[in-house]
Amino acid sequence: MITADERRSLRNAQRRTNRARANSIGFTCPASRHLHLIADTLAAGKPYPMLTEEPAHCAETMYSVLESLWKLRAR
């Protein structure tokens, strides 16, 4: 069960993420778009079946996004 505070925090994070994605048109990758879909689904309180059906694929998506993030931050 998601609390009201968690819902507010998730909505805020979702708005910030959507704004950042809108400002980076043409600069997203398949992994970041997939991770965005996973996050939106989970934030809506819905299951994301691929997490249990293909956990290795989901993990690869997360690793790819983290790699890109950390490489960019290291610059």
- Residue 73 tokens read as 């931050």
Length of the chain: 75
How confident is the prediction along the chain (75 residues), in pLDDT tens digits per residue? 789 999 999 999 999 999 999 998 888 899 999 999 999 999 999 999 999 999 999 999 999 999 999 999 999
Query: Rounded CA gap, 72 and 23, in Å?
Result: 17
pLDDT given for residue 2 in this prediction: 83
**Domain definitions of the chain by residue range:** 4-74
pTM of the model: 0.87
Closest CA relative to residue 37, chosen from 5, 65, 75, 71 = 65
pLDDT given for residue 26 in this prediction: 81
In this structure, are residues 29 and 68 in contact, taking their beta carbons and an 8 Å threshold?
yes
Query: Rounded CA gap, 64 and 67, in Å?
Result: 5
Query: Rounded CA gap, 13 and 17, in Å?
Result: 6
